[in-house]
Amino acid sequence: MPMQGCYINLERSTDRRAAMDAQLHRLGLTGVRRQVAIDAQALTTGSASITPGEHACFLSHTEAITRASPGEALLVLEDDAQLSEALPAVLRSGVLAQLEAEGCDIAFLECQPITTTQNLLALWHSLQRRLPPQGSGAPRHALTGIDFIDARTLYNWGAVAYLVTPKGLRVLPALLQEALASGPAQPYDLTLGSFLRDGRLQGVVLSPFLATPASGSHADSTLGSPSESAAHDALGGALRRLFFAGPLEGLDAQAAAWRHAPLTDDPQLRLLADLMAQLFVLTARDHAAR
């Protein structure tokens, strides 16, 4: 199945543009074009429910989808996406045709998962199944395959990298215009999550992740969301990268300041967190032993 692609980039973000162009050239994804992002500074009106940066992001993704050719799958990237070396091979492997055959509208190359034990175990088991064996000397991107995980229960947020199938290109524009007409009430990625959970959008998350936000990219984000704390950014970003089919260098350092931080004074909540962590390890170990 043919594929088109774009990455969304502000005119003033020249460093990110250069980095994305170099990465796409290295991976042979030269058909992925740059799309100029809508700048929040140019917006005259916006919803009070979301920040101007979030509104501009929503409009930029909507424009990418509505401008796409309806007969080809569309790869959408944000300009802080770090792509796995495995991505070109996966795209050539027939995964696009498989997504279309299974009735998918959208496939996320990564996301912030809803952190239930069930979801994290699904991602962990996928890693163990698809990554090369430890000690083999093979790089993490030498995957044995890719898994499709139902996005309705796994996907929380994230629009760094995703595929929209031709079916999705017929469905998604009207849904996005409907959301824009009513505000939008939520940022773009949370809106996608709502569509997935109410059944109006059919989607999967590809695992292991074939993309991840570039380390530290949240620090210079243009979204301006006041709701995200430093701890949430650091821990959430580290969690996403842990499931990435690519290098993990710097991951320990990224999470170090928060990994054992006393995030609460409630002794019972801290005990609950410790119990959950230990039980997760036992469950993952027991599953691997079967």
71 with 190, same domain?
Answer: yes
127 with 199, same domain?
Answer: yes
Q: Over the chain (290 residues), what is each successive 10-residue block's mean pLDDT?
A: 92 96 96 96 75 94 96 96 97 94 97 94 95 90 97 97 97 96 93 97 98 75 55 86 93 82 88 90 78
135 with 276, same domain?
Answer: no
Residue 83 to residue 80: CA distance in whole angstroms: 10
Residue 210 to residue 127: CA distance in whole angstroms: 12
29 with 134, same domain?
Answer: yes
First to last CA, the chain: 38
281 with 170, same domain?
Answer: no
pLDDT score, position 217: 61
193 with 75, same domain?
Answer: yes
Q: Which helix (H) or strand (E) holds 203?
A: strand 203-207
Cite the DSSP H helix spans in the chain: 14-27, 52-66, 87-92, 95-101, 117-130, 151-154, 166-181, 188-197, 230-242, 251-259, 267-289
206 with 218, same domain?
Answer: yes
Domain count, the chain: 2
Q: Which domain holds residue 150?
A: 3-259
246 with 267, same domain?
Answer: no
**At 44, phi and psi to the nearest 5?**
-95, -25
CATH of the domain at 134: 3.90.550
pLDDT score, position 244: 97
279 with 189, same domain?
Answer: no
129 with 231, same domain?
Answer: yes
- Name the pTM for this structure: 0.92
250 with 281, same domain?
Answer: no
273 with 253, same domain?
Answer: no
pLDDT score, position 226: 47
